[in-house]
Amino acid sequence: MIHKRFFNTSLNSFFQNKRIFFTQKGRGRFRENERVSFFSSSFAEPYTGYFEGNKLHTMGAFSYSWSELPEHTVVGRYCSIASGVSVMGEKHPIERFSSSAVTYNPTFILSTSSAQDAGLDSPYQIANPHQNQDLSITIGHDVWIGNNVTLATGISIGNGAVIATRAVVTKDVPPYAIVAGVPAKVVKYRFSETEIENLTEIQWWNYAYTDFNEIKADAEPEELCDKLREKIESGSIERYQPLLVKFHEVFN
């Protein structure tokens, strides 16, 4: 269920203290009584940035988005989402005699108004509505989505994937794949099969990079996995488990 609430500017300090940002400059972006929307189960971890739009979706630590994504979206940790990313609308039933929304959407203004003017008790075809669609988009960890990408609803983007600028993604993207084009296709993979297996096994995104210490940011996957595995086995690093900010509790 999607909730729509009014933003109180007193919440700006709350979100900043929780390290959830709506602007890079530290100022509150939302105006008093500006409406925001979010899904019932949506939450944010610390160190996330919602830099565009009034829709709040689930987002993991150290991720940010310069695009407004639907409330149903789930974004993992360490993701980078550029500006201009858009999501396709609902699918139309092309298997029927007509794909028009007036034949399956009983709340569409054209459906309700035409039924009213025709003296019908209910909009046309309301007894046989178009099947409910999966409107969610699941974005894994360490995903980079370039400018002006278009995403279909109901897709999943695997961990470590890269979506090239202006790509149109119509199906699931495998982990660590680099996809491009219209429709998007796999161009190559970021790492070798063995490296991808090791990164997937160790799940480095379950840790805060601020605890990596001597592991350099430009470390090769093999080096990262070896050193992080040593830390895990020695108990010198713990999984990052911050407190979640659940939007339905903040906007009550």
- What is the tens place of the pLDDT at every residue in 63-107? 999 999 999 999 999 999 999 999 998 778 888 888 888 888 878
End-to-end CA distance of the chain: 15
- What is this structure's pTM? 0.88
In the chain, % of residues over pLDDT 90: 69
pLDDT tens digits, 113-151: 998 898 887 776 655 665 566 678 999 999 999 999 999
Look at residue 23 in the predicted model and tell me its pLDDT: 86
